[in-house]
Amino acid sequence: MKSIKKSDKKTFSVENERKKMLQEFCKRVNLKFNDLSVLDLAFHHRSVTNELHSGNNERLEFLGDSVLGMITAAYLYKNINVSEGEMSKIKSAVVSEKSLAPIALKLGLDKLLILGHGEEKTGGRQKPAILADCMEAVIGACYYDQGFFAAEKYVLSFMIPKIESYLNDGEKDFKSILQEVFQQKYKICPVYELKGISGPEHDKTFEMVVHLGQKTYGPAKGKSKKEAQQKVAKMALDSLKD
């Protein structure tokens, strides 16, 4: 009879522990999976690809992004009686990185992420971009394994409260506000310019300015172009108020 090596026992133990964590996550968020390996892949950030010689969640993220957008758009069309422009504004706000990252933390996705050594060391579990991408990857995995209606049920469980919160409180989209104010007054649009990118590949910082006619405001920095644009738009709005 072949004896089991200690290394095999360790691997078996790790795999069992991982399976248990995934099952607990499914129970917590009311999801079912026929193939847990699909869900597991959704938590593999691209930073582990070379280190573990494994796949990553980018393809599932691509799929989930489309599924999320379609489900949200359909819900808005059926339930929120506003113009096409307002629907676009709501959808843009609630499916954004800023919106998805806190949901990911609330659902505990950060604890299941599998990151490369460098990304782990630089606080990748708390980075909004990684959390938002993982949210989309889980949606993609759910759609792939369980089909559209299961994915729809999962997405609407957190998206309906987010939409209602947006409609009740209004999440500030400084870029849209600036465009409305400036375009109405001067009949031209703000122009955003990327001034520089710094930092390593896994932790970039973007620096942005905004041109309002002959005046320039900024720079402002962010971990994504969108974040930097929002920050510099707020700077411009504050200056216009003054």
pLDDT recorded at residue 11:
44
Measure the CA–CA gap between 242 and 137, rounded to whole angstroms: 43
**All residues at 6 or more sequence positions from 14 whose CB lies less than 8 Å from its CB, including other chains:** none
The pLDDT tens digits for 107-122 are 999 999 999 988 888 8
Q: Which of 110, 136, 145, 227 is catalytic?
A: 136
Active site residue 8: no
pLDDT recorded at residue 13:
55
Measure the CA–CA gap between 100 and 110, rounded to whole angstroms: 12
The pLDDT tens digits for 5-55 are 443 444 445 588 999 999 999 999 999 999 999 999 999 999 988 777 778
Measure the CA–CA gap between 87 and 109, rounded to whole angstroms: 28
pLDDT tier for residue 230 given thresholds of 50, 70 and 90: confident
Ranked by mean pLDDT, the top range of 123-127, 164-168, 237-241 is 123-127
> With a threshold of 0.75, does the pTM exceed it?
no
Q: Which whole number is the average pLDDT over 196-203? A: 87
Active site residue 136: yes
pLDDT tier for residue 171 given thresholds of 50, 70 and 90: low
Q: Which of 40, 61, 65, 152 is catalytic?
A: 65
